[in-house]
Amino acid sequence: QVQLVESGGGLVQAGGSLRLSCIASGRTFSRYVMGWFRQAPGKEREFVAAIWWSTWTAGRTYYEDFVKGRFAISRDNAKNTVYLQMNSLKPEDTAVYYCAARGQLTLATIASEYDYWGQGTQVTVSS
């Protein structure tokens, strides 16, 4: 069974930075797309970024437009960890951030197309 554990959330002022981590365990993640989603109060869960986790895709990434140039997703294969570096944070980035794993090597930006989820980590950006 795949387990995903996020960490790194917290309270930060607008313009600040945070780095979220997602430690994955339970199997070899050689053919997965790992995604970050977020959900603000009263809103649907929305896609943020994804990274391909395979030996032949060289860490291909994809970002939603509203985070391009501010957020960066990366992976550390040795640590089975995916990161989301968030810079130039805005109050509208406030949400619970979730790590997700999709057992297919095709991009998906809809939450229902991911197979495994972490418990989430709260990010709060004050103005």
For residue range 101-115, list pLDDT tens digits in order.
Answer: 999 889 999 999 999
Do strands 71-76 and 3-7 pair parallel, antiparallel, or not at all (unpaired)? Answer: unpaired
Place of tokens 């895709």: 57
For residue range 52-69, list pLDDT tens digits in order.
Answer: 987 666 678 999 999 999
Provide the token pair at 120.
Answer: 């989430």
Which pLDDT does position 55 carry in this prediction?
A: 63
